[in-house]
Structure 1
Amino acid sequence: MQNLQEGERALTAAVAAAGRTRLWSHPELGLHAFVDAAGSVRLGTSDRNWAALVPLVEATATGHGRLWSGERFVETAIGDRLAYRGHETVEDGGRERTTIRLADSVTGLAADVVLETCRGAGFLRARVRLVNEGGTPLRLESVTTLTLGGIAGADDGLGGLTLHWADNDWLAECRWRRTAFRDQVVPLSRSVHGHEGRGCFERCSQGSWSTGRHLPMGALTDRDGRAWLWQIESSAGWRFETGEREGAAYVALFGPDDAHHQWHQTLAPGEEFHTVPAALVRTEAGGLDAAFGELTDYRRDIRREHPDHRTLPVIYNDYMNTLMGDPTTRKLLPLIEAAGAAGAEVFVIDAGWYDDDAQGWWDAVGAWEPARGRFPGGIQEVLDAIRGHGMTPGLWLEPEVVGVRSPLARTLPPEAFFRRGGIRVTEHGRHHLDLRHPAARAHLDSVVDRLAGEWGVGYLKLDYNINIGPGTENGPESPGSGLLGHHRAHLDWMASVLDRHPGLVLENCGSGGLRMDYAQLTVAQLQSTSDQQDLLRYPPIAAAAATAVTPEQAAVWAYPQPGHTLDEIAFTLAGALLGRVHLSGFLDRMNDDQFALVRSALRLYKDIRPEIAGARPFWPLGLPGWDDAWIAQGLRGRHSTFVTVWRRGPADGTSCELTLPHLRGARLQPSVLHPTASDSTAEWDATEAKLTVFLPRPDTAVLLRLR
């Protein structure tokens, strides 16, 4: 490791000369950190419009609020006072980490801003360490992880900027929206009033489903194809805001705060707090597609290494549109045989395998013991059958909850559960474990070590089906602080599970995609994208999933049924072939033609999956709308470009024209990969970089390869 600490005394002298000095630069992003003569440090592409830039850290504390009151959490008193006191850059291989140190002389609050990147990369990751160096406690109420100002369109104004964000809901995940920036942040004649507005455009989480309302992401683009794309990496609270400042746009990224998440953190003298990480991507051309490509590379860089990211095994899960939480030996054995014959490599027994309660399992879960009535010969008989057909056995688990009727609700200590006002929290018949408590963690460790160790289970689907609200109060802490503490303990627990069982695969599920964030996904190998059961409603989710998660982590349901036509079977399979196949359906009841179609799709997937693991996503028709008739999503691999096209309903016409600028001038012949017996065709115009796809019938889909 090489320490590249800057000459701070020379820099301090330069600052004292009343100019502004560049502290740090990221050439690929075109970003720079500047410090002025007063010691204020700000991040932007240029310091020409210094007033448009935002202090590098904005924070509020009780007694230290904002300089201009409103809905914004920038222009804070502490942020205005935080002054430069040094910085250093450390390189380790291709990685670079710069720490910029700031301090507030009034409160004694010190802030170390850590900016991380890789040499040649188009992303920046940030986090902030706060330390109370003063003599009295300080009650923090909000703090930024990253701020960026001076964003303008191609005309150096705001009229050409477009704002993007993603709504997210159960069964309706990854719904990207776009609008002109000026539709949300209207001009207010600042020159007349002498102030910016009091509002901003903001999105935030609510409760413990981090993506129950929106994805923790947003973007700004301009007419020339430049893009600023960001994500916040938190399974607890998060918020971002963007607004106008001195004729330019700014972005501020936060973890939890008091106003939105009931979070405050009291720092006694000497105590510290670390913000949640956040990442920023900036591209000069290519718009959102290019930015999502860079973000995909970044996500691959920060996650825990695991063989699953390279092998991409086909997963069969008995739940969706099939057993729906009612597994038994009798029902499972024919499905296991059929799944193995079709080409599945993992077989997951989903919810219900522990259900031996006459009143139902929902509010009685917690012990995670097999139901004797469901498995007369023992669950090992079924697990052995899975292995006997060449597949890895998997089980569903909801580790963070204990049903109100479970014996564990009485035997675990009260401090092992979420509480508010001294009362144990109950939601939808469940209590919530606090994994900071050793009894809660020991309980889950014993469960997982039994399943993965004694039983030989190689795959765990970790579900999360309640929103427990703002969090838990352990003593004097705020609910939001308790939720963040549990969230960090939960990530540490998952990592420790993988340390003990390195071959185990963990799927992250939150009622589908309601906890789809890159705090979870730096540890978990897969992400459930939805619980959507309507095959015609899944395409916009499947197509947009790669905005939220890398393709090789995006688990998409494919649930062909014996009652489906061949077109319907091909349609539901198509959505999973550029991500992770989560196969379901009564395969054992299919006729020969139906089963052959499933087998051919899985054979194809195994042929192309080596390219998926390193490919970048793109959207030739733009990000899909919920009711779009034509939807297209592609992957740019090292050797091939893949494109899936869906036609839903009585679309206007039987063809769709896609633009693929990265292949302009290339002589190639599009080939239909799926379905193999297809009357769909495609024509390529190399000069115009146009791919015309013909789907003669409604509610059909096709996967094409261009190489």
Structure 2
Amino acid sequence: MPEEDERHLEWGNDVLRIVIAHGPGTAPRLVALWHAAEREPDLPALRRSALPVLETSVLGEGRSGTSGKRHVDGAAAQRLRLTGHRERRDGDRACLELDLAEDGAGLRARVTYEVYDGVPVVRSSATVTAVRPAVLDHATTGVLSGLGHGARWEEELLLWAAANPWSGEFRWHRATLAERGLIDVGMVRHGQVGSKNRVSLTSTGAWSTSEHLAQGIVEDTRTGRMLAWQVETNGAWHAELGDRYDDVYLLATGPTALEHQWAGAVGPGARVRTVPVSLAVVPGQPDGHETTLGAVAAALTAHRRRTRRPHPDHGRLPVVYNDFLNGLMSDPTTERVLPLVEAAADLGAEYYVMDAGWYDDELGGWWDSVGAWEPSVTRFPGGGLGAVLDRIRDLGMKPGLWLEPEVVGVRSPVARSLPAGAFFQRRGHRVTEWGRHQLDLRHPAARAHLDAVVDRLVGGFGLAYLKLDYNVDIGPGTDAGRGEPPGNGLLGHDRALLDWVGAVMDRHPGLVVEGCAAGGSRTDAATGAVFPVQSLTDQQDFRLTPPIAAAAPLAIPPEQAGVWASLDGTMTLEETAFSLVTALLSRVHLAGRIDTLRPGQQAAVREALAVHRAVRHAAARSMPVWPLGLPRWRDPWVALGARDGGDLYLAVWRRADDGGRGTRGGDSVRLRLPGMVAAGGVQVLYPTWGGESVAVVGGGTAVEAKLPAPLSARLLRVQVADRPGPSS
């Protein structure tokens, strides 16, 4: 309970505020986080369940006041006290630094909060050390209690979480805490803290988002308020919701001892940098949860745009043709590639990226022999790979290559030439997964090897684009041959990987580097803050791609999202447009057998790319809108909006059922304009051959669209204004 001399420190920006309680007998606790448009919270009521700003526990001490598997109430966290704080400002970025310490020879920490003007998102992290050696079981600043205060929280709080399976990414699901298994068992009335249970999401291994996105939303159905979180790491992470003193807490963190074989050594010369966690808060909107969801997405998108590494590609959004998906499928030769190069240039592509296989002299047996990344001597007769890349340039496109830098095949000479410390190891064994070893980019030999590979390829061939893939999940990590906890090794490698990618772009200004990991298995905020563009999926069926592309903007800004538009000569004109519309509000990654397109299809592609070039700068500024809510995997209609000021661009897809027997849900759909009102009519931007019927209805609050057939799609534009509020 609060001490008599406890004080409050309030801080934030113009749209977001936090209050931290502190005092001689009080561990600094985050009491409240709220949006400036909301009523100020009842701080005394929230104080009981408030948790320390740095939640951590020390091996040998554990927790105090709770038990079970939850990562709150660490005994060490409760002993920390605020010893000083400072505020600083850099442009539109404000920071608050808190100095924390135990009495005597204990833990020391610096907790940092940062916000940007006009953005209701706070990002926090900490650096922890100690006067005497200690080991942390977990440590995070991503903790907030008081959720659902005064509510029947098991039914009135909803958790939004996203399953992220390979080729079916961004599958959001909304459920009550009771439906997720967390209920009020009544033990607080008997002097207990809570149920000891939790709802948890955990990602293990090197694919940060192969099972779940590293983010979620807690919705309070009483007010519509949404609190969103994201863990900013490209590796292992954990998040949990639990009950505590009749409120609910959220904790989001990087690796832990329990889930990830991690241990944080602190002491003289040893420190722990926690994984950053960002929290966004928006009040409930009167127009419903679709509008509130749009406000959450706008906040996260603005935050991601401000915290990422700048790159000119963010504003250009060039059209890329990549020859993998439904094209060459990792089997390029001069004979196969050149017709695609000619077709890509004729259609208007700006980059041609040759995907996997350009190094393969074994006719498909390359999977477990990669690592040297030398061009094949048999696949490109008459001048080698360089001649093919020269042809790409001759036709006005920029060339790119695919690379999987982190892996070395077990049959590769590199597996024998690099020292043992350059590879992931555990218990004296080099880690192997599906015929590959994993490089540890903390080791200078591993980094020097990859630097030499990239500099040779980019400099020698004049590459403008690299697609960096990662197709194995290597497990908990590496002990580096010295008994290091594997979770520490993985986190260290993951951070070194992002540092290496940044250094590559520093050495080669203007180089576009695409991040990919078995499709969208690393669609996290840390990766997005470094890579200018990310691959979203490996989905090969153009009919199944719209729900992936439409849900993606909640995880990644559209100007960084590479979306496949797979084409071939067997498709109808409507199917061709369907596939192209899927990519027009993001990054167009043409794919498939474009050399087989008929003249009418070629004209349809050129028209689509002309429209994309006209709207892509708007897309790079836009905020996402979901007129039908976030899509489910088998929805008969899918829609995505991108709002750029007074212009709303709407992509709408009419889908067919699995058996191809027609549509489910009829031939028309009403698209709500969440939080907006139409200020004019609807313009069909693409395709323009007709057959559809579109109109503004409902007094300007919706668009009615009727599309001509199953597997048809349209890109629309509507002039809009903000919908007047209840008091207007």
For normalisation by structure 1, the TM-score amounts to 0.95
The one-letter code sitting in structure 1 at the alignment partner of 2:638 is: I
Letter in 1 for 2:620: A
Offset, 1:160: 2.5
Q: CA deviation at 1:226?
A: 1.6
Report deviation, 1:488: 1.1
Secondary structure of 1:182's match? Answer: coil
Task: Say if 2:94 and 2:116, in contact at 8 Å, map to a contact too.
Answer: yes
Residue of structure 2 aligned with 1:119, choices 110, 117, 120? 117
Alpha carbons of structure 1 residues 607 and 374: separation in structure 2 relative to 1, 3 Å = same
The residue type equivalent to 1:357 in the other structure is: E
**Matching residue within 568, 571, 593 for 2:575:** 568
Is 1:180–2:184 an aligned residue pair?
A: no
Partner of 1:218: 216
1:336-375 equivalent positions in 2, closer than 5 A: 336-357=341-362, 360-375=365-380
Residues 316 and 617 in structure 2, CA contact (< 8 A), matched pair in contact too: yes
CA–CA distance in structure 1, aligned partners of residues 17 and 225 of structure 2: 12
Alpha-carbon deviation of 1:22? Answer: 2.5
Partners of 1:190 and 1:37 in 2: CA distance: 30
Look up the SS of the partner of 1:613 in the other structure: helix
Letter in 2 for 1:98: L
Q: How far did residue 25 of structure 1 move?
A: 4.0
1:616 and 2:603 matched: no
Q: Does 1:63 align with 2:60?
A: yes
Q: Which residue of 1 aligns with 2:38?
A: none
| Structure 2 residue identity aligned to 1:408 | V
The 8 Å contact of residues 23 and 35 in structure 1, kept in 2 or not, is answered as no
Say yes or no: does 1:380 pair with 2:376.
no
Task: Write the distance in 1 (CA, Å) between the matches of 2:52 and 2:264.
Answer: 21
Q: Distance in 2 between matches of 1:359 and 1:531?
A: 19
Match of 2:258 in 1: 259
Equivalent position amino acid for 1:629 in 2: P
The superposition leaves residues 233-275 of structure 1 with CA deviations (integer Å, 9 ceiling, x where unpaired) of: 1112111111222222211111101111111122233421111
Aligned AA (1:514): S
Contact map agreement 1:265 1:477 (CA 8 A) in 2: no
Paired amino acid for 1:593: G
CA contact (8 A) 2:683 2:718 kept: yes
Q: Is the 8 A contact 1:316 1:344 kept in 2?
A: yes
Alpha carbons 1:342, 1:598 under 8 Å: kept: yes
State the Cα distance separating 1:644 from its structure 2 match: 0.9
Equivalent residue, structure 2, for 1:41: 28
For residues 462-611 of structure 1, the aligned pairs below 5 Å read 462-474=468-480, 475-611=482-618
1:695 maps to 707
* 1:402 and 2:414 are equivalent in the alignment: no
Identify which of 411, 426, 429 aligns with 2:435. Answer: 429
- Code of the residue aligned with 2:675 in structure 1: it is H
2:58, 2:177 → 1: CA distance? 30
Match of 1:237 in 2: 236
Residues 191 and 492 of structure 1, relative CA distance in 2, 3 Å threshold? closer
1:222 positional shift: 2.4
| 2:305 counterpart residue number | 300
Partner of 1:662: 675
1:448 offset after TM fit, Å?
0.6
SS state of the match for residue 661, structure 1? coil
**Residue 626 (structure 1) aligned with residue 633 (structure 2):** yes
Aligned to 1:313: 318
Deviation of 1:183 after TM superposition, in Å, equals 2.5
**Number of residue pairs aligned between Structure 1 and Structure 2:** 690
User: Following TM superposition, by how much is the alpha carbon of 1:20 offset from its aligned partner in structure 2, in angstroms?
Assistant: 3.4
Residues of 2 paired with 1:191 and 1:165: CA distance? 28
Structure 1 CA distance for aligned equivalents of residues 104 and 326 of structure 2: 61
In structure 1, what is the Cα distance between the partners aligned to 2:386 and 2:81? 63
Q: CA deviation at 1:107?
A: 6.3
Give yes or no for contact 2:144–2:251 (8 Å, CA) kept in 1. Answer: yes
SS in structure 2 at match of 1:667:
strand
In structure 2, give the amino acid aligned to 1:445.
D
Paired with 2:650 and 2:156, the residues of 1 have a C-alpha distance of: 30
Deviation by residue 1:673-705 (Cα, 9 ceiling, x = unmatched): 122213122111263511111123222211111
Sort the Cα spacing of 1:502 and 1:207 in 2 relative to 1 into closer, same or farther, 3 A: same
Matches within 5 A, 1:437-476: 437-474=443-480, 475-476=482-483
Does the Cα contact within 8 Å between 1:20 and 1:37 map onto a contact in 2?
no
Quote the residue 2:716 is aligned against: 704
Give, in whole Å, the separation in 2 of the partners of 1:669 and 1:70.
58
One-letter code aligned to 2:220? D
Aligned residue number for residue 187 of structure 2: 190
| Shift in Å, 1:302 | 0.8
- Higher mean Cα deviation, 685-694 or 214-223? 685-694
AA aligned opposite 2:241: T
**Is 2:651–2:714's contact at 8 Å kept on the other side of the alignment?**
yes
Q: For the residues of structure 1 that align with 2:58 and 2:607, how far apart are their CA atoms?
A: 60
Structure 1 residue 642, shift from structure 2 partner: 0.7
Task: Tell me the distance in 1 between the aligned counterparts of 2:398 and 2:150.
Answer: 53
- The alpha-carbon distance between structure 1 residues 157 and 29, as it changes in their structure 2 partners (threshold 3 A), is farther
Per-residue CA distance 1:271-328 (angstroms, 9 max, x = gap): 2111111111111134221011110011010111111000100000001001000111
CA-atom RMSD in angstroms? 1.7
Number of the residue aligned with 1:290: 295
Distance in 2 between the 1:115 and 1:381 partners? Answer: 52
Deviation digits for residues 595-620 of structure 1 (CA, Å, limit 9, x no counterpart): 11111111110010010111001211
> Counterpart of 2:98 in 1: which secondary structure?
strand
Deviation track 1:86-112 (CA, whole Å, cap 9, x = no partner) reads 111111222111011212337611121
The SS at the match of 2:391 is helix
> Which residue of 393, 402, 418 maps to 1:412?
418
Is the contact between residue 98 and residue 110 of structure 2 (CA under 8 Å) also seen in structure 1? Answer: yes
Contact 1:145 1:255 in 2 (8 A): no
The residue identity in structure 2 corresponding to 1:320 is L
- Aligned residue among 129, 132, 138 for 2:130: 132
Identity %: 45
TM-superposed deviation, 1:348: 0.2
Cα distance, 1:39 vs structure 2: 2.5
Q: What is the rounded CA distance, in whole Å, between the counterparts of 1:337 and 1:25 in structure 2?
A: 55
Q: 1:105 is matched by which residue type in structure 2?
A: D
> Which whole-Å deviations, capped at 9, do the CAs of 1:356-380 have from their partners, x for residues lacking one?
1267100000111111111112111
Distance 2:349 2:12 in 1: 48
TM (normalized to structure 2)?
0.92
| Cα distance between partner residues in 2 of 1:614 and 1:319 | 29
- Look up the match of 2:246: 247
CA contact (8 A) 2:128 2:266 kept: no
Q: Deviations over 1:425-465 (max 9, x none)?
A: 11000001011111111110011111111210000000000
| Alpha-carbon offset, residue 538 of structure 1 | 1.0
Distance 1:417 1:157, change over 3 A: closer
Q: Distance in 2 between matches of 1:172 and 1:260?
A: 25
The CA distance in 1 between the partners of 2:105 and 2:190, in whole Å, is 32
1:13-32 → structure 2 map (5 Å cutoff): 18-32=5-19
Q: Please say if residues 149 and 248 of structure 2, whose CA atoms lie closer than 8 Å, have aligned partners that are also in contact.
A: no
Q: Please state how far the C-alpha of 1:182 moved relative to its aligned partner.
A: 3.4
User: SS of the residue aligned with 1:42?
Assistant: strand
Q: Which amino acid aligns with 2:60?
A: G
Corresponding residue of 1:685: 697
* 1:279 matches 2:278: yes
Closer/same/farther in 2, CA of residues 26 and 241 from structure 1, 3 Å limit: farther
Structure 1: give runs of 5+ residues left out of the alignment. 1-14
Counterpart amino acid of 2:376? A
Give the AA of the match of 1:170. W
